[in-house]
Structure 1
C-alpha cells in the first residue's frame, strides 16, 4: 500500500513524498529469519520532479500542465525491514527516475516510472554494525493515483 503527495513548486518543478508499506497475511518465513510481523517492511521516499518539454507538448496539443507530462526525478529513499525479533534492516538510497504522468478523467492520474538507484547495503541497526558495500537497484512502477 502507498500513500503520497505531490506539491507544485512552479509550473515545472514539484516536491513529492511517498510512504509505502508491505502487509503480511501468511505465515512467517523462517528460512529468511522473518518473524510474523503484520507490517514486515516499509519505505519512505522524498524527491523533486522536473516536468520537461511542457511548452512543446502545448504546441503539439498534447497533455500538459500541473502534474502532467514526462519527468525526471531525484529521490532519497529509505526502506526498513523487521527481522529476527527486534532487529531492523535499513536500506537508504538515492534514486534517479524517469517517468510519465497523465490524467485519467478529472480526478485520477496514471503514473509509470523507471529508475536506478544506489546506496549502502542493508545494515543491522540494533547491533550497530556499519553499512555494507554499495548496492545498485532498479525500479519499475505503475500506478493509478487520485489527484485533483
Structure 2
C-alpha cells in the first residue's frame, strides 16, 4: 500500500513539474512602445527655451557673419567680415524691454583688378540703444505658457551711431608702378551718421547660457555731409536689414 501511495505522489509531482514547464513555454511577452506625448514635447521645448523662467535682465554676446560678396564668379575678389554685438536687455514690463550696447564690425576686402592684389581692412564700433515690444507675451502669460522672459516675437525700434572707425588698405599706383599703403582713423565728430531701424523679429533662449535672435526691417541713415561737401547738405539713405545672431546670454 505504501508503494502505491508513494508511486502516486511521485507521478503527481512529475506531472505538476511538466505542466509548469509547458505553461512557461506558452507564455508570450509584449514590449510596450515608448511614445513621446504632446505635453512632454511641450515641456521639453519650454525647458530648452526657458519659456517659464522669469528673467528681468539679459546680457548678450552674439556674432553674425558680414560677408556681402564672399567669392566672385572668377574667384579673384573676396569680402569676409564678422559682427560682434554686446547688448544688455532689461524688461521694464512683461511685454516691453529696453536695450543698450555696442556693435563691433570687422571687414576684409580683397580685389584683384588688372592682376594687382589690392586689399582693405576696416573696423567700426557703433553705439546702440533701442526698445522692443513682445506683442504675444501678455497673452501667453495669461494662458500660463510663459513668464516674464526674453523668448518671444517682437517689434523693435533701434537707434545707432558710429563712434570709432579704423581703415587700412593697399592700392597699386600704375603711374609709379608701386603699392601705396593708406591708413585712416576717423574722429568722433566726423562720424555723424545716425541710423534708425524698424525691426520685426523673434528671440529664443537656448538653455541657460544661449540665445538666438533673428530680425529684419528697413533702416534710415542720415549723412550730414558736413565734412564731405562744401554745402553741408544732409542726405538720407534707406536700406533693408537682415540680422541673425547666435551667442551667449545670461
**Higher helix proportion:** 2
Residue in structure 1 matched with residue 207 of structure 2 by the alignment? 105
Q: Give the C-alpha shift of residue 56 in structure 1.
A: 3.5
Correspondence 1:72 to 2:155: yes
Correspondence 1:139 to 2:229: no
Matches within 5 A, 1:106-121: 106-121=208-223
Instruction: Point out where structure 2 has 5 or more consecutive residues left out of the alignment.
Output: 1-83, 111-119, 168-182
Aligned length: 143
TM-score of the superposition, structure 2-length normalised? 0.47
Q: Give the C-alpha shift of residue 121 in structure 1.
A: 2.6
**Preserved CA contact (<8 Å) 1:89 1:123:** no
**Preserved CA contact (<8 Å) 1:46 1:75:** yes
**Higher strand proportion:** 1
Computing the radius of gyration over CA atoms, which structure comes out larger, 1 or 2? 2
Residue in structure 1 matched with residue 193 of structure 2 by the alignment? 91
Q: Give the C-alpha shift of residue 25 in structure 1.
A: 6.7
Match of 2:98 among 5, 10, 15: 15
Question: Alpha carbon RMSD of aligned pairs, Å?
Answer: 3.4
Instruction: Point out where structure 1 has 5 or more consecutive residues left out of the alignment.
Output: 28-35
- Change in 2 beyond 3 A, CA 1:86/1:116: same
Match of 2:125 among 17, 38, 42: 42
